[in-house]
Copies of this chain bind each other. A is one copy, B any other.
Amino acid sequence: MITKAERASAVARTLVELGRAGIAVTDAELEQIEVADFGLGRLEEIGLELLVYVNTDRVCAKELVLFPWQLCPEHRHPPVAGEPGKEETFRCRAGTVYLYLPGQAAQTPRARVAADVASYVSVWREVVLRPGEQYTLMPGTLHWFQAGPEGAVVSEFSTKSRDEADIFTDPRIDRMPKVAG
């Protein structure tokens, strides 16, 4: 749960970061920026800011903004309604993203993860994405990611996005954000 003030502040910072990355946004889109704290109430540490450009039955594209060291917790996209799960490509536009996937665990991962969060992380293969670099995740792949010290802006190109269907490893997580008074 985040407060209205936290949300407003996060939206303002998101706009600054999008602007720095050279990404133009219309006035109408300002209203649509989503601030997700995954229900943990620790937005600065565990959270994600999103601007969804398009999300039809077949195609989705969004911009993700992460503040310095902000982390999107481990999850996967299961099959829904007889369709394979969401396939997604992350393309780093600004800053640095540390992306973690199944496979050989990094010896000294760059991520900084609180102990309670780390206890729900199961994949540690590290892929570092810098501006212009990208990675495509096939459906069902467990993954999580964290911005580096300067934060990050990441474009996501995918099939239909159904955030409510995502399966998080950490049972405390509630993907659909709430804003308190």
Contacts and interface: CB of A to CB of B under 8 A. Distances in A.
A172 interface: no
Given A54-B89, A60-B157, 14 more contacts: A21-B22, A22-B23, A23-B93, A24-B92, A24-B93, A24-B94, A29-B132, A53-B134, A56-B87, A58-B159, A59-B59, A59-B157, A59-B158, A59-B159
Contact of A24 (B25, B29, B89, B131): B131
A94 B157 CA distance: 19
Interface of A: 21-26, 29, 53-54, 56, 58-61, 87-89, 91-94, 131-134, 136, 155, 157-159
A48 to B, nearest CB: 19
**Most chain-B Cβ atoms within 10 A of its Cβ — which of A21, A56, A132, A134?**
A132
25 contacts: A22-B22, A22-B23, A22-B93, A23-B132, A24-B92, A24-B93, A24-B94, A24-B132, A25-B132, A53-B134, A53-B157, A54-B134, A54-B157, A56-B87, A58-B87, A58-B159, A59-B59, A59-B88, A59-B89, A59-B158, A59-B159, A61-B61, A61-B89, A61-B91, A61-B155
